[in-house]
Structure 1
Amino acid sequence: MNAKFLVCSVIFGTVASAAVCAKDVVTARQADMKAMAAATKSIAGMFKEPSTYRPVEFKHSADLIGDKAGRVLIDHFAREAATSSDSKAKPNIIDERERFDRLANDLKSYAGALAAAAENNPTTMTDSMRMKPGEAMGGGPLGTHVRSEEQLSSIPAEHAFHLMLQTCTTCHSRYRME
């Protein structure tokens, strides 16, 4: 076998394999995003109508989001997957890696706070889980994040939920194509 042919075959095989892997990551990422959206909708419904609060479902939804956030989400946006033609990610995600990673980790922290709230409120959605009328949420579309676990554990779960939603909105507006 010709050495040049062998080298070309190896290079082509590696490129083709990377493309298949990137497509697989994009498919997995899209499935994870849909699962997180469904979990978020479940939690939102319980905040909208507290009588529907089911702590096991609330915690399961928060855990699902947490499991798919942080390192998992960061890995889903590796260079190959972020630049794949199947991806809806903007190329700036690669250039703004630290910012994206911080958002992915914030998402995990907020989901963790929600899961802890469910553990601490095993029967009903208590007033301590809810934001009070007129209570400032802080942030905005490019919202601030809670900087410590201690601070995060001191805010109502509903506030953590809104911060989580702001994180999703910020990430999508900055890193997702229309």
Structure 2
Amino acid sequence: MRLTADANKLGPFAFMAAVILTAAVSSAAEDVVTIRQADMKAMAAAAMTISGMFKDPSAYKASEFKWAADTIRDRSGGVLSAHFASEANNPAGPKSKAGPNILKERDRFDRIANDLRDYAAALGAAAEKNPGPMTASMRMKPGEAMGGGPFGTHVRNQQELSAMPAEHMFHLMLQTCTTCHTRFRME
């Protein structure tokens, strides 16, 4: 809503309503930024939890691993996409680091958000399959090629994903984060 000198013609109550509405829209957009930043921080903390278990397999606890994977799963996919659903959710300003191209490349952004969800769900399933200590089947073999990269391989189906070690899934998930930040985040 644009407030101009013509606002005086609206009368004092209509003008005040317009000011309040403008402030509410601005506040709602800032709230979305705050919420999505909190979700991003929760996903980063969850990824650090998983990373720590791969660095020190004796620290592996299936329930914590699954909780971390579920945290990422629950904040990615459609939830992540909804945080960037409109121009109102992407205000320009110092709080937001979202790039202006998200709406222009909506399909690509949504695919990346869904890939993140799929990798996290697969990691959660790996934890369910491995309730005891971290198994060798969860780990990548020395010298095993990761594939992927910021603009690289995408695992095309659940069968292919579930056949790979959880550590490989984790690296692909991190590469998905990197891809999104490279493409859609302003520094």
TM-score interval for Structure 1 and Structure 2 normalised by the shorter chain: over 0.9
Shift of 1:8: 5.1
Number of aligned residues:
177
Larger Rg: 2
Find 2:66's aligned residue among 37, 40, 59. 59
Match of 1:49 in 2: 56
Shift of 1:84: 3.8
Over the aligned positions, Cα root-mean-square deviation in angstroms equals: 1.7
5+ residue gaps, structure 2: 1-7
Shift of 1:127: 1.0
Match of 1:170 in 2: 179
1:99 aligns with 2:105: no
Contact 1:55-1:118 at 8 Å conserved across structures: yes
Find 1:20's aligned residue among 2, 27, 35. 27
Give runs of aligned pairs for residues 142-153 of structure 1, distance below 5 A.
Answer: 142-153=151-162
3-state SS in 2 of match to 1:94: coil
Identity of aligned residues (%): 61
Distance between the aligned counterparts of 1:84 and 1:35, measured in 2? 23
Match of 1:108 in 2: 117
Match of 1:4 in 2: 10
Q: Which amino acid aligns with 2:89?
A: A
Match of 1:73 in 2: 80
Q: Which amino acid aligns with 2:36?
A: R
Contact 1:66-1:109 at 8 Å conserved across structures: yes
Q: Which amino acid aligns with 2:127?
A: A
3-state SS in 2 of match to 1:64: helix
What is the TM-score of this pair, normalised by structure 1? 0.92
What is the TM-score of this pair, normalised by structure 2? 0.88
3-state SS in 2 of match to 1:155: coil
Find 1:87's aligned residue among 85, 96, 104. 96
Contact 2:49-2:68 at 8 Å conserved across structures: yes
Q: Deviations over 1:91-139 (max 9, x none)?
A: 0111111111100000000000000000000001111111111212111
Contact 1:81-1:87 at 8 Å conserved across structures: no
Q: Deviations over 1:42-87 (max 9, x none)?
A: 1001011111101110000000000000111111112212234221
Contact 2:138-2:165 at 8 Å conserved across structures: yes
3-state SS in 2 of match to 1:104: helix
